[in-house]
Chain A
Amino acid sequence: MRKIFLLYINEMTKILRKVSTLVLLCVLILGCVFIPVIIRVSDYFIGITGDEYMTSAEDDRNIVVAQIKRIETELENIGTDGSPNQRRIELLDSKAESEFELERLNLLIASGYTDQTVVNFVVEAIGTLPQYRRTIRELEKIPSDLRSVEQDEYLSFCKESIDRIYAFPQNHDFESFVSMHKEKLRYDLSSIQGDRDRLFEVLSSKMDLMYKADPSGGTDGTVDYGHLRESLDYVTELKDSLDSGYSYVYDFSGERLVPLSPKEQKNLSDQIAIEEHKVISGVFVNKDNSVMAGLSNFFSVSFGKFIIAVMIIVLAGSAVSQEIATGSIKSLIIAPVRRWKIFTAKILSLLSIMVGSLLILSFLYRLMSLVVFGPDSMGDYMYINNGNVATLPYFVYSFLSVLIGSVDLFVFLLFAFMLSTVLRNTALSVALSLASYLFTGNIAQLFALLGIRKRWMDFVPFLNFDLHSDLFPFADNMLPDMIRQMQMATTASYRPGLLFSSVYLLVLISCLLYISFDSFTRRDIK
């Protein structure tokens, strides 16, 4: 053991003194530092997430007023030259619409919401004002003796709702808004076909959750109402998918509905539990900074992993062949140690460099995102433990996730090392390993895109590298919507399963190790 340790120290000295290692480590660190900074700076200048282009309510009102004037002028003209009746009706309709919009804007301005970037339930309620006015106008066109009981009820509901909307800026009664919203939902759903009760259940539970998460409806400034809605939209989407028993799959043949497996159903209900927990406990990831932090983390990790892959492949691909080429292997062979110890020390040193750089990566990208985007830009990892939501601190998660997500790196390390040992040709080993690393990175997505899902795919090595999705099924729930959708488009849909993949990888790793071991310990060095 002691000899292996001493050899290991020598191997580490050699690796850490290599110019290529040092340069790539610097690139890794610079990348982790500058990617978040670049994203932050571009947000400042371009506005990735900003809403600088929102006009004020007053500006909008001037436009609407001008519009109404124009319509009135045209109406007067029509009155004098007796144009067709159809045009007159159209003009009256758009005049009514513009007046509803004017009423909305006036109420906004009167309530002090001139700045349209503010989002809360009052603003949302005022936003629905034109809808109610429109409905009332439509219903009132029907003579009162011809209206059905339901239509009468709906008409009075709409009128009552408008009164409530006018009261909201003063009373901030979110509960009243929730009940009003649910009632409207019931009326709206009555016109559609299908399972109304189920849809009502899904949609109204969203309103209940909103009330639970923030009884002020966003008016007291503690919770971002817009982001809360986004989170809840996601929950609703998940619930809808779970209730319907189908999920959407995208591939070459287009968009298809695929029935959910029991495992997927379990995963969906777990995700719903997590999302609801986040909403109720007030842990939102959908903050403006979260989108940038998510983008930055995504790019930092992909970039960092690529740099580490290049570094590891270069090191492993030259580990034996270069020593033989330069003759420095001589001082290892003459040393009083069995060759398997040299082999072990070499593998261990490469492994340490890999894990070490992954540690640097996972620590650094998280640290930078804390510094640049603030501590609340990313939440901890949440998962389901015995039916309850549990959390894993982000630093622990980021390391484990980067490590488990790098199983492919380990396989390629061994592959490059094997080539280096067997072929004894550095250029060939490095080139072959790098080429296959770059090629196989996209193969899973290619299969997914072509819509191939066959049993033999279980035995394609590259499809077994993705243990991350199996071990951290709720990783996507940490991401803001925008990033989540970006990632959904690039995730392979076919996975052979955790147990199969683990066994497969073990066998693959053993084979690679055995071939290199046999070649290294038994072959002559001429």
Chain B
Amino acid sequence: MSEEKVAMRIQNATKAFGKNIAVNHVSFDLHAGEVFGFLGPNGAGKSTLIKMIMGFLSMDEGSIEINGFDRKKEYERAMSGLGGIVENPEMYRDFSGITNLTMYARIHENVPRERIDEVIRTVGMQDRAKDKVKKYSLGMKQRIGLAQAIVHKPAVLVLDEPTNGLDPVGIKDLRDILRKLAHEQGVAVMVSSHILSEMQMMCDRVGIINKGRLLDIKLVDELKSLAVGQYKFVVSSPKTAIESLGSAFDGKISDVTEESFGICAEKTEVPGIIRTLTASGVDIFAVSRTEGTLEDAYMQITGGGITVA
């Protein structure tokens, strides 16, 4: 599978609820064989975008192309290449997992019986597949939901917060399944999650959305290296030190204690800080750097902190 093959293309997707523009001209490509993480604080518009992709919400503007088919012109062909879960996986509660799968597969046509058994094994639900869905835990529902999302072998798999309700083992299983689907079967997987460490381990690329706008798309490795470090200064008088730095580092200073403070800064800025502090008569006992994480990058790109738009 070529990394460059476009499985889903979203162009200028826009959706407004009244005056509030939830998704504002978002465009990106999803490649076959990648796991794409979709990041953003609550209310950033990621749910709205996913619901637009899945056909729950109409689009005010823009187009979606799945597997080469324009959703507007060839709705059914485009949608048959798409699988996914929106928010919590909900099914017919009075039916068993296997009945739910059979009913869903029926609409897709050409899904053989064996395929249903196969996906049930894939998600590890073979022991409980015949139980009614209302007896399932949230984790089991997630597994059956995933089975439903992949039963028709979609080219694009969209999962909204898929690790919700899963225990650590479940999360690891899910990660393995998704990476296997993407890397071995060439499925384009798109996940949204608020657990950044999960994204870091699961995704190949990450897109960051805030206030309805797609801010940046980066490879996970690229993002990590780009991450701004947190430096910890142990000094004689943190108060004087912060005053001497002036307004240049407003909002980037944190964890101020009696003898230390933390500061977000580029590597190249550090010698300048040391000179300023020395000049102001502040004694520096130690300077240490904590490793940059995806979280730091995320904070930086979205403007420092989870803001509710």
Contact = CB atoms under 8 A, between A and B. Distances in A.
A110 interface: no
B90 interface: yes
Nearest to A525: B56
B55 A334 contact: yes
A6 B106 contact: yes
For chain A, which range describes its interface: under 10, 10 to 19, 20 to 34, or 35 or more residues?
20 to 34
A333 to B, nearest CB: 5
Given A6-B107, A335-B79, A14 B56 contact: no
B108 interface: yes
B279 interface: no
A334 B89 CA distance: 12
B80 interface: yes
A334 B54 contact: yes
A388 interface: no
Given A334-B55, A525-B57, A327 B90 contact: yes
Interface residues of B, number: 35
A341 to B, nearest CB: 9
Contacts of B100: 331
B222 interface: no
A10 B107 contact: yes
Interface string B45-88: 00000010011111000000000000000011111101111111
B55 A337 contact: no
A87 B9 CA distance: 117
Nearest to B52: A524
A16 to B, nearest CB: 12
A524 B58 CA distance: 6
A10 B84 CA distance: 20
Contacts of A196: none
B91 A331 contact: yes
Contacts of B88: 327
B95 to A, nearest CB: 7
B256 to A, nearest CB: 43
Contact of B95 (A7, A17, A330, A336): A17
Contacts of A331: 90-91, 100, 103-104, 148
B118 interface: no
Given A331-B148, A524-B56, A525-B57, A337 B107 contact: yes
A338 B75 contact: yes
Contact of A338 (B58, B76, B106, B108): B76
Given A7-B107, A330-B86, A336 B77 contact: yes
A338 B77 CA distance: 10
Contacts of B194: none
Given A331-B91, A336-B79, A2 B109 contact: yes
Interface in A306-361: 326-328, 330-331, 333-338
B107 A3 contact: yes
Nearest to B56: A525
The SS class assigned to the B binding surface is mixed
A326 B93 contact: yes
Contacts of A333: 54-56
B92 interface: yes
Contacts of B291: none
A9 interface: yes
Contacts, number: 79
Given A3-B107, A17-B95, A334 B79 contact: yes
From B83, B86, B107, name the one whose CB has the most chain A CB atoms within 10 angstroms. B107
A438 B89 CA distance: 39
A334 B92 contact: no
A454 interface: no
Contact of B107 (A326, A328, A335, A522): A335
B94 interface: yes
Given A9-B106, A14-B92, A524 B57 contact: yes
A463 B36 CA distance: 61
Contacts of A334: 54-55, 79, 82-84, 86
A436 interface: no
A337 B103 CA distance: 14
B240 to A, nearest CB: 54
Contact of B80 (A330, A336, A522): A336
A401 to B, nearest CB: 36
B62 to A, nearest CB: 15
Nearest to A14: B92
A19 B109 CA distance: 28
**Of A6, A17, A335, A338, which is in contact with the most chain B CB atoms at under 10 Å from its CB?**
A335
Nearest to B83: A334
Contacts of B78: 336
Contacts of A18: 94
A301 B141 CA distance: 45
B17 to A, nearest CB: 9
B152 to A, nearest CB: 8
A9 B105 CA distance: 12
A261 interface: no
A3 B83 contact: no
Contacts of B108: 335-336
Contacts of A263: none
A9 B99 CA distance: 13
A526 interface: yes
Given A2-B109, A335-B104, A337-B76, A330 B90 contact: yes
A3 B76 CA distance: 10
A387 B76 CA distance: 57
Contact of B90 (A3, A326, A336, A526): A326
A50 B93 CA distance: 55
A525 B58 CA distance: 9
A10 B148 CA distance: 15
A108 B91 CA distance: 81
B237 to A, nearest CB: 54
Interface in A434-450: none
Contacts of B90: 326-328, 330-331
B109 to A, nearest CB: 7
Interface of B: 51, 54-58, 75-80, 82-95, 99-100, 103-104, 106-109, 148
Given A326-B92, A328-B91, 16 more contacts: A3-B109, A10-B107, A328-B92, A330-B85, A330-B86, A333-B56, A334-B83, A335-B107, A336-B78, A336-B80, A336-B82, A337-B76, A337-B107, A338-B75, A524-B51, A526-B56
25 contacts: A2-B109, A3-B107, A3-B109, A6-B106, A9-B106, A13-B99, A18-B94, A327-B87, A327-B90, A330-B90, A331-B90, A331-B100, A331-B148, A334-B82, A335-B104, A335-B107, A336-B76, A336-B77, A336-B78, A336-B79, A336-B108, A337-B76, A337-B79, A522-B58, A525-B51
